[in-house]
Structure 1
């Protein structure tokens, strides 16, 4: 993922992935290539760091089970709470009950949608950005 162009040029790095693929940590560095006119991290970088993560995690969880699914980010909303002047981190996590509900819905209806949330947090604990992503899964 770190070679994905929006990540590579935006100072975005996946720094940890859970062995069960139910979570990961992504860091956005404040740097020269992702600054806006105010010297803070560009909002597009903050969103692009979070955009594919839940979809990729679901895709990999089900691929590990030998199940082919198509996964899309159906919609997203971003709330910028504070200017980002330092690095921030997103801690993504998918609860086991959400995976179980997805599995059941895929078996019964062939599709599943879920809204998931993540916050971008500065080193001092301040929440700088909140993102809600609606992920859509469909059986192949």
Structure 2
């Protein structure tokens, strides 16, 4: 994507987000942050009437990879390698997730991959209710490597 604004527009129309009730509210102009909202609707409730766990996970899925890739640039490969979610409390309304990329994190990745080695790093996101109650913790493991120069 050419700009954070274009990505936000695209991803808000992307069927896995659109039909799950997920909305990207913000992607920073410098690719360093994102904020996502999931509203509770009849079509994304689970059997007991709370946020469906798959939707909670989906709302966090691509952001660490996309933001890190955009911040590091075209000389890097960035993939999601592993993920896990811990459900802490039932989501009974709107929930939010925020992502922030710190320069220290990018510096660590650049240093770890400087000689062509891969780096595996865990990133954590908290999904919280509108009142700030912790609903879930999501961890994503990123695979990062500099592209080989042939």
> What's the TM-score, normalizing by structure 1?
0.91
Q: Kindly provide the CA deviation profile for residues 87-107 of structure 1, in whole angstroms up to 9, marking residues without a partner as x.
A: 111011121101111122222
Unpaired stretches in structure 1, ≥5 consecutive residues: none
* Paired position in structure 1 for 2:124: 117
CA distance in 2, matches of 1:134, 1:12: 22
1:68 offset after TM fit, Å? 3.2
- Residues 82-121 of structure 1 aligned to structure 2 (within 5 Å): 82-121=89-128
Whether 1:8 and 2:18 are equivalent positions in the alignment is yes
Unpaired stretches in structure 2, ≥5 consecutive residues: 1-10
CA RMSD of aligned residues (A): 1.3
Say which of 62, 80, 85 aligns to 1:73. 80
Q: How many residues align?
A: 137
Note if contact 1:6-1:45 (Cα within 8 Å) is conserved in structure 2.
Answer: no
> What's the TM-score, normalizing by structure 2?
0.85
* Paired position in structure 2 for 1:19: 29
Note if contact 1:78-1:132 (Cα within 8 Å) is conserved in structure 2.
Answer: yes
CA distance in 2, matches of 1:69, 1:32: 41
